[in-house]
Amino acid sequence: MDSFKDFTISKQLQYAIDDLGFEKPTPIQSQAFSVILSGKDMVGIAQTGTGKTLAYMLPILQELKFSKQANPRVLVMVPTRELVLQVVEEIEKFSKYKSNRIIGVYGGVNINTQKQALTEGSDIIVATPGRLYDLVISRALQLKSIKKLVIDEVDVMLDLGFRFQLTNIFELLPERRQNIMFSATMTEHVNAIIQDFFINPVTVSVAVSGTPLDNISQYCYPVPNFYTKINLLVSLLRDKETYKKVLVFVSNKKSADLLFQELENYFDSEIAVIHSNKTQNYRIRSIENFNNEETRVLVTTDIMSRGLDLNEISHVINFDTPSFPENYMHRIGRTGRAEKKGTSLLFYTEKEEPAKIAIETLMNIDISFNELPAEIEISTKLTLEEQPRSGEREDSIKIEEDDLGKGFHEKKEKNKKTNQGGSYRRNLKQKYKKPKTRGDKNYNRRNKKR
């Protein structure tokens, strides 16, 4: 849709948009409007700056009739206090000509002032999960009239460890409600929330295009396991002339720590790491050091690198293959900026090959294939996740799921009974046959034929 006139919005909303000087809807606004208005659950893949706040608020405000009732009908959850303030301010601008009562609540400040404000009644609550939960438990706020739930920046929320609070809040909400979620990246954790709490959501995505920049050269290496990936990475990084400024991506903080420790043995102060378990100061220092070229290699998770202004990255190394192809596009987009040439390398195991194929399908190109160099030692050491399982061992959970908490694993068990994940894995196993022995010395020879 090219104009806000194409939306069926009230005069009050149109006036507010005119006042803001917005001439036409952004792509996420065009796509989300009718979906949200239809009442369906929605998952939006969009970053800050895409106009996503108005994308969900416009249809919600359009529907929200004047009411004197005390309990709120719309709940917007965001990960930080700063975002609460920003979103409240935005919503106030959008509803300038409507009489909606909007209240923001967040932790770290006196709860009594917020309790007091809530006694006046509200239509829209914007909240961080922890404080919201405290207010509900202390009966200062009732959620029984909530019709629309928006969770914004859900990937950040989960990375900050809000999974439990989110689950608790879901339990307190009325079952009949519309769920709307925004995330800049898709992760296993985000997907788990969707599977657990959303009903047939419509996905709208504007985060990335599937067309990579021409100035990024892309190569991939088949590698049998985690520790062989480390051997390959060490061997590549030894070439300091070529690998000048390298961003290494892993999908979770546990792998980030493991990789960092291993690389430190070889490169010491040339390596830095950032992820959400590190303190803010540590992260700021790591990024500064990387930017002023005191460190050459930065290990990061998808979420932590978001929004960072990192210039002149020579190489993006995908130490693992993202399960969601869009995340690969995000990653490689960190190099090849401002017309500079950039290179992206992708390491993939046999298990990750379907994800690599999904990436190639999204881009509609094949990533150039590189043999695993013959001098790279094939490690026989396996991570817990890679070890063959004899029955379900308690400690052999997937790395990616390690910090999801008990509730997640319980649900997974339930899902297994319906045979969703199992049959998929079985099919994959049939298609991509397992190597006879792990850490096989003949791995290179066999893969040469590809």
Whether the CB-CB separation of 97 and 15 falls below 8 Å is answered with: yes
Q: What minimum distance in Å lies between the beta carbon of 302 and ligand AMP?
A: 19
Whether the CB-CB separation of 207 and 330 falls below 8 Å is answered with: yes
Rank residues 78 and 256 by Cβ distance to ligand AMP and give the closer one: 78
Distance of CA 275 to the CA centre of its chain: 13
Whether the CB-CB separation of 359 and 218 falls below 8 Å is answered with: no
Q: What minimum distance in Å lies between the beta carbon of 30 and ligand AMP?
A: 9
Q: What minimum distance in Å lies between the beta carbon of 21 and ligand AMP?
A: 7
Rank residues 86 and 380 by Cβ distance to ligand AMP and give the closer one: 86
Three-point CA angle 2, 6, 8, nearest 5°: 150
Rank residues 83 and 345 by Cβ distance to ligand AMP and give the closer one: 83
Rank residues 53 and 128 by Cβ distance to ligand AMP and give the closer one: 53
Q: What minimum distance in Å lies between the beta carbon of 450 and ligand AMP?
A: 42
Q: What minimum distance in Å lies between the beta carbon of 54 and ligand AMP?
A: 4
Q: What minimum distance in Å lies between the beta carbon of 413 and ligand AMP?
A: 38
Rank residues 19 and 312 by Cβ distance to ligand AMP and give the closer one: 19
The 3-state DSSP composition of the chain as helix, strand, coil percent (nearest 5) reads: 45, 15, 45
d(CA 174, CA 75) in angstroms, rounded, equals 12
How many C-beta neighbours within 10 Å does residue 269 have? 10
Rank residues 48 and 168 by Cβ distance to ligand AMP and give the closer one: 48
Rank residues 48 and 191 by Cβ distance to ligand AMP and give the closer one: 48
d(CA 395, CA 336) in angstroms, rounded, equals 41
Beta bridge partners of 274: 300
Contacting residues toward ligand AMP, per CB under 6 A: 22, 25-26, 29, 48-54
d(CA 448, CA 434) in angstroms, rounded, equals 17
Measured CA to CA in angstroms, residue 165 lies from 133, 139, 270 at distances of: 7, 17, 38
Q: What minimum distance in Å lies between the beta carbon of 24 and ligand AMP?
A: 6
Measured CA to CA in angstroms, residue 320 lies from 240, 271, 446 at distances of: 22, 18, 22
